[in-house]
Structure 1
Amino acid sequence: MTDKADFVVVGLGAMGSATLYQLAKRGVDVIGLDRFAPPHRMGSSHGETRITRQAVGEGGNYAPLVLNSHRIWRELEAETGEKLLNACGVLVMGPGSGQTSHHGKPDFVIRSIEVAKEFGIAHEVIDGAEVGRRFPQFLGLSGTEKAYFEPGGGYVFPERCVSAQLSRAAQLGAQIRTGVEVLSITDDGMVRLETSGGAIEAKQAVITAGSWTAPLLGAPFDSLLTVSRQVLHWYELDDLAAYGPQSPAFIWMHGATDVDYFYGFPPLPGERSIKIATEQYETRTTADTVNREVERSESEEMYRKHLKGRLAGATARVSQAAACLYTTTPDRGFIIDRHPHLDHLFVVSACSGHGFKHSAGIGYAVAERLTGGRNQIDLSGFSVARFE
């Protein structure tokens, strides 16, 4: 027997849970599938916290997505009673002179300021001396650094966000099937999915499979999407005095290249550790073969290269560490577009290391597009065709 639906969403992490929820809100018949039981630690939507910033230095076309995300998370908080967004502020800081790069974009602080001005996002531009006065957790500053501070930014709780959207989607009538692997997809006027739990036919499918997208869809995504392993570290603090109630999340670029930076979060309430990470793109992996264990030497290297002497109270002792996956495109932008050869497949992938903050807004934009809604956001900058 073949199950039927108007829509099927494949993958229920950040993008899939948001899309499923938004489709269910619009009253359509929708099924959500995931090979695991989200929220889980196998993909890119775990690790307790994710930075959110509304003025996105990657480009102004992202701002409508993240602004909608903040609105949606506040609505979900009211509906579910869950705390999803902590607007503790976010600080983006780089050297006062010389080359810098973040996510492949030069002059990232200036780009963030420009987007904030364009979209009327509250912000401050401060130097390193003011950073040191206002936020005593940051050490070793020359005083000449340039920094963008956004009081409405901060961090979201990814596992809670995924759970809240799946819970609301189910309450609104969506079918959620976990532990189900999609084996093949064909499009012959209707989308047919062969899965480990049986066949499903739908009018349209949304593929939000993250690091599994390329193996599932093949060309052209197998040549566009690369997967890299990223590591998150929680370092113990021997002194909490510098971390007040409004300590910001931060991105600190201290050198010229994309790897000369780290980002982090204030300690969570009741915790005596601080989550810190950087990014790497040179070593590639796959979702099925990635090493999910973190060696002690990895945390030691992270501390030595980036953290030592830069954050008050931070020790080299690690309370926990975790690996996650980034899926990136050649230009490190998103893909939010119809499949170029299969008309009834819509692909949402390649978060490229900065996706979670946009996810609720992306779910909204995709649902509006697929159901013919009136409040459609321009997604042309996220097309597959730009890589041709």
Structure 2
Amino acid sequence: MSEERCEVAVVGLGAMGAATLYQLAKAGVKAVGIDRFAPPHDQGSSHGDTRITRLAVGEGAAYVPLVRRSHQIWRELEAQSGEALFEQCGVLVMSSSATTTSHHGAADFTANTIELGRTYGIAHEVLTSSQIRERFPQFGPIRDGAVGYFEPEGGFVRPERCIATQLEAAQALGATLITGATVSALESLGGGVRVKAGERTLVADKVIVCAGMWSANLLGEPFSALLKVCRQTLYWFKLAEPTIFPEVSPSFILAHGPGEADICYGFPPIPGEGSMKIATEQYVALNSIDALDRTVSAAEVDEMYRKQVAGNIAGVTSELVKARVCTYTVTPDFGFIIDDHPTLDNVTVVSACSGHGFKHSAAIGEAVAQRCVSGASQIDLSAFSLSRFA
């Protein structure tokens, strides 16, 4: 069987892969994108209708330039395609507990978000509990003493549309898509990489791996020791009082207790749907990705409503409209890894995104493409080096 050749092969076409393939094609690179499914799909981490985006990222300062640039790219893509990708409805980050809530390694997630907003000159308001209740009646149940951070430039992006739009643009610019093909092996050659993808074999000058939950198995050490895959559940509950929600309601993150489990996030009701998407984040590692249960039990639905929704958000019933399962692939410090593979020459790794990657994906794709083409990116990626785990 003959080997196909390309300049760059991108493995995995979720959030990061689609963005990277688009930016490579935009730069004139002969690029091939490979995915085991047909993206956008619901088998990985980049689905669920909506994903929060905000400039003051509580996970750390290194992410701020990425999300700023991503917002610009979403708007550029909207202008090119006519698709609605980015809904700038604002983001409200709240702490309604007497004690601080830790999240993604930050001891006080809301305070850290406020500090980043101040440090980077991000337009925002710090709200009291009474101000939150007055402006956003759906959060009427929050406790006195609550603190809120409202960022008007935040909101949500539509992941499936973003992926599809970038892949369509990449193809229009000359990129090739190979779908329904699992990459089973990468082999470094003199000056290139052999890629086994289903029944096909490609030889690429460079390979960029954006394989999410499948990265550890494909890449081996040290990734198999560093990365853990965690099952996540997304819920859409029926609204009881749609009129309680202002015409423009924000996406939100609500910290309502002292532990990692005492935090949820959600989105404004999408017009015409009559439901509200709410979710939490879980960090229990799967023993095997083959053991991932994609069903959501009645007990899970009941626990979610009792612990996260009831007493925290008004106007939402316990009736489930739909539920979905996705995964996070998580590093020990909840940060990203964007770096060269330590033993496979000409292979760049763009994973894991630790559950907060989609908002940054457009800019990461651009930065990784720049790094691939010229050896350096306009946005500094050094904070995501593999060496920090040494």
Shorter chain as normaliser: what TM range?
Answer: over 0.9
1:298/1:336 CA distance change after superposition, 3 Å: same
Mapping of 1:132-143 within 5 angstroms? 132-143=133-144
Residue aligning to 1:266: 268
Task: Work out the CA distance in 1 between the residues paired with 2:338 and 2:48.
Answer: 24
Residue aligning to 1:185: 186
Residue aligning to 1:222: 224
Let me know the Cα RMSD of the aligned residues.
Answer: 1.2
Q: Secondary structure at the match of 2:365?
A: helix
Residue aligning to 1:213: 215
Task: Work out the CA distance in 1 between the residues paired with 2:238 and 2:96.
Answer: 27
Residue aligning to 1:257: 259
Cα deviation, residue 96, structure 1: 6.2
Q: Secondary structure at the match of 1:114?
A: helix
Residue aligning to 2:197: 195
Per-residue CA distance 1:35-73 (angstroms, 9 max, x = gap): 100000100011100000111010010011111110000
Per-residue CA distance 1:139-183 (angstroms, 9 max, x = gap): 322231111110010100000000000000000000011011111
- Is structure 2 residue 22 aligned with structure 1 residue 41? no
Match of 1:332 among 331, 334, 341: 334
Mapping of 1:17-32 within 5 angstroms? 17-32=18-33
Mapping of 1:234-249 within 5 angstroms? 234-249=236-251
Residue aligning to 1:64: 65
Match of 1:345 among 318, 323, 347: 347
Structure 2, unpaired ranges of 5+:
none
Indicate conservation of the 8 Å contact 2:231/2:284, yes or no.
no
Indicate conservation of the 8 Å contact 1:104/1:258, yes or no.
no
Indicate conservation of the 8 Å contact 1:229/1:280, yes or no.
yes
Task: Work out the CA distance in 2 between the residues paired with 1:355 and 1:334.
Answer: 8
Indicate conservation of the 8 Å contact 1:137/1:242, yes or no.
yes
Mapping of 1:158-177 within 5 angstroms? 158-177=159-178
Indicate conservation of the 8 Å contact 1:18/1:162, yes or no.
yes
More displaced stretch, 13-22 vs 113-122: 113-122
Task: Work out the CA distance in 2 between the residues paired with 1:238 and 1:24.
Answer: 47
Q: Secondary structure at the match of 1:297?
A: helix
Task: Work out the CA distance in 2 between the residues paired with 1:17 and 1:135.
Answer: 35
Q: Secondary structure at the match of 1:246?
A: coil
Indicate conservation of the 8 Å contact 2:97/2:255, yes or no.
no
Mapping of 1:314-329 within 5 angstroms? 314-329=316-331
Indicate conservation of the 8 Å contact 1:43/1:287, yes or no.
no
Task: Work out the CA distance in 1 between the residues paired with 2:91 and 2:213.
Answer: 28
Task: Work out the CA distance in 1 between the residues paired with 2:29 and 2:99.
Answer: 52
Q: Secondary structure at the match of 1:20?
A: helix
Task: Work out the CA distance in 2 between the residues paired with 1:227 and 1:137.
Answer: 33
Residue aligning to 1:382: 384
Indicate conservation of the 8 Å contact 1:204/1:345, yes or no.
yes
Indicate conservation of the 8 Å contact 2:141/2:314, yes or no.
no
More displaced stretch, 109-118 vs 240-249: 109-118
Structure 1, unpaired ranges of 5+:
none
- Is structure 2 residue 314 aligned with structure 1 residue 309? no
Task: Work out the CA distance in 1 between the residues paired with 2:377 and 2:36.
Answer: 32
Task: Work out the CA distance in 1 between the residues paired with 2:343 and 2:377.
Answer: 27
Per-residue CA distance 1:75-119 (angstroms, 9 max, x = gap): 000000000000000000113642321112111112112222232
Cα deviation, residue 16, structure 1: 0.2
Task: Work out the CA distance in 2 between the residues paired with 1:241 and 1:286.
Answer: 44
Task: Work out the CA distance in 1 between the residues paired with 2:37 and 2:284.
Answer: 28
Residue aligning to 1:233: 235
Question: Aligned partner of 1:148: which letter?
Answer: Y
Task: Work out the CA distance in 2 between the residues paired with 1:120 and 1:22.
Answer: 29
Mapping of 1:274-313 within 5 angstroms? 274-313=276-315
Runs (4+) off by over 4 Å: none
Task: Work out the CA distance in 1 between the residues paired with 2:183 and 2:376.
Answer: 32
Per-residue CA distance 1:284-341 (angstroms, 9 max, x = gap): 2543330111111101100011101221211110010010000000001000111112
Cα deviation, residue 127, structure 1: 1.4
Residue aligning to 1:154: 155
Q: Secondary structure at the match of 1:101?
A: coil
More displaced stretch, 57-66 vs 188-197: 188-197
User: What count of residue pairs does the alignment treat as equivalent?
Assistant: 388
Task: Work out the CA distance in 2 between the residues paired with 1:364 and 1:267.
Answer: 31
Task: Work out the CA distance in 1 between the residues paired with 2:294 and 2:158.
Answer: 21
Residue aligning to 1:125: 126
Indicate conservation of the 8 Å contact 1:96/1:146, yes or no.
no
Match of 2:360 among 352, 358, 365: 358
More displaced stretch, 364-373 vs 42-51: 364-373
Indicate conservation of the 8 Å contact 1:129/1:142, yes or no.
no
Task: Work out the CA distance in 1 between the residues paired with 2:118 and 2:199.
Answer: 50
